[in-house]
Amino acid sequence: MCGIWALFGSDECLSVQCTGAMKIAHRGPDAFRFENINGFTNCCFGFHRLAIVDQLYGMQPLRVKRLPYLWLCYNGEIYNHRRLKDHYEFEYQTRMDGEILLHLYNRFGVEKMAYLLDGVFAFILLDTANRKVFLGRDTYGVRPMFKLLTNDGFLAVCSEAKGLHQITHSMTEPVEIAPFPPGHFEVFDLKPTGKVTSIQLDRFHTCTEEPKHVWNDVVDHKPEQCFALETVKSNIRLLFENAVRKRLMAHRRIGCLLSGGLDSSLVAATLVTLAKEKQLPYPIQTFAIGTEDSPDILAARKVAAHIGSEHHEVNFTPEEGINALDDVIFHLESYDITTVRASVGMYLVSKYIHDKTDSVVIFSGEGSDELTQGYIYFHKAPCPKSAAEESVRLLKELYMFDVLRADRTTAAHSLELRVPFLDHRFTAYYLSLPEEMRTPKEGVEKHLLRDAFKGLNLIPDEILWRRKEAFSDGLTSVRKSWYTILQEHIESEVNDSQMEKAAKLFPYNPPTTKEGFFIRQMFEKHYPGRSGWTPHYWMPRWIKACDPSARTLPIYKPDQD
């Protein structure tokens, strides 16, 4: 996890513009570099480094002697870089996983380079010999990237939108700052002035496609094209274990978030098992957050005892949660209600990890609910086809909601997030299964995933079959949820007359509740005029709902111990 930033064709002095790069310093506290580009005095790169792989030669922009005309700034991890290096017999100059991008681009061009990468990434690649700039982002947008492009060809790129919010340009009207679309690459012509022209924007991968890098996967054989239940369950276990295993690539200590739900428990248990197999020189730390009697704290405690992790419990008060809201919204760059709610706990536990431990690489269970139809409202899907289509829609929008939350709350405290449920091979296989096989069954969501791990004693049975509990709900007491705590606080902060003016004050995505109004006010304080960064609110489907909280839905049933 790092922070990348670049300008091409700036009309303003670069020493003034570079203050924007410092807005993302939290993404890389280990080192910083600001570098002009030879021959282009109005172009530059900025890089904040969190050293995870190759601590000696890991600074960026990355350049190698054999390819002096290529400049690379990227954020991510390429899990198959060694296999690609050996297969194509590339000569490396560093031990960085990102060096593979330079060699692949030089031999095959940007499109094949992108689809051969098994990993998570956002990259800015400059080819001064051919006067080209390339941008690209992984399939689910696990690593963030934003761009600003003016009508006269000034291009600015950054890991987070806040690094571009106050960039100076020659346009009289505000210029859009937009997330770079996941699974795409873009090609720009670079003019002698440093200005650019976009000449190609194409998709190189989508979640429903088998990733093209599979052909070069010499360890994980392609699962049989057979949908017998036992074969499917075996393949799910195999691919999930491989997804966790490949993400052990790190020179820094690895830990895991553990809410005590199905997803984080499977990740943590598999991680602990594989860490012992790999003989890591430290125990895996797991981290749970909540009030003292919260369902998540109690469930996570049971899982940690079962798997033998070094477990940490982080207790927080309602006052601490409310006080964190302003910082959370600043880091999120979003006013989506459920995203903000769920981010508070993740932000506070990440702060604890940074301040109190030496774990830096943090595993988490994001992506499972979208992939395996884990949200409670999937019980109300009209048919398996509708449920399958909704699952794909959610996966394609992850970069605006859950993946955004997970990245920003951990990056705010200089941690690197790893999400095995969003592994390309695992997701492509799961989505290839018959639609009927993936729906909730016997009143239980994610039934197929649970069934795949039944009888293994990997996690306790009561956790394996624990019903879905939203993270923002499960971290507080069943008697008084985080949702209720927020409503009580906001009732005294926003009055009825303010709500009457909400649609006029905020015409784009107008808030319809006092909580939405309160959150929107905080967002506009930090990012005035940028309401387009949240294109719509996350809400459940197929059910009458005026709030995204699972506990407000009529079909919600609390877990019975």
Q: Which residues are annotated as a binding site for L-glutamine?
A: 97
Q: What is the largest CA-CA distance in the chain?
A: 69
DSSP letter at 25?
G
Q: Please give the distance of CA 397 from its chain centroid, rounded to a whole number.
A: 11
Closest among 197, 204, 200 to 104, alpha carbons compared: 204
State the Cα–Cα distance between residues 375 and 261, nearest whole angstrom. Answer: 13
Cα(124)–Cα(2) distance, integer angstroms: 13
19 Cβ contact partners less than 8 Å away, ≥ 6 residues apart: 166
Q: Are 111 and 202 in contact (CB under 8 A)?
A: yes
In contact, 134 and 187? CB cutoff 8 Å:
yes
8 A C-beta contact, residue 299 and residue 260: yes
2 assigned to active site: yes
Joined together, the tokens standing for residue 429 give 């296989």
Q: Which two tokens mark 35? A: 């570098």
Distance, in Å, from the CA atom of 219 to the CA atom of 209, rounded to the nearest integer, reads: 20
Q: Which of 2, 44, 158, 207 is catalytic?
A: 2
Q: What is the dihedral of CA 114, 117, 118, 121, to 10 degrees?
A: -60
**CA atoms of 100 and 117, how far apart (whole Å):** 9
Q: Are 549 and 473 spatial neighbours (Cβ–Cβ below 8 Å)? A: yes
Please, are residues 187 and 155 in contact by the beta-carbon 8 Å criterion? no
List, as one string, the DSSP characters of 544-560.
--SS--GGGSTT--PPP
Binding site for ATP, by residue number, is 257, 289, 364-365
Which residue matches tokens 């689910």?
140
Burial 85-107 (b: 16+ CB within 10 A, else e): beeeebebbeebbbbbbbbbbbe
492's tokens:
């005294």
- For the CA atoms of 46, 50, 56, 59, the dihedral, rounded to the nearest 10 degrees, stands at -10
DSSP class of residue 124?
E
Residue numbering of the annotated binding site? 97, 257, 289, 364-365
Q: Are 133 and 73 in contact (CB under 8 A)?
A: no
Residue 306, both tokens = 């079962």
**Which phi and psi angles does 296 have, rounded to 5°?**
-65, -45
List, by residue number, the catalytic residues: 2
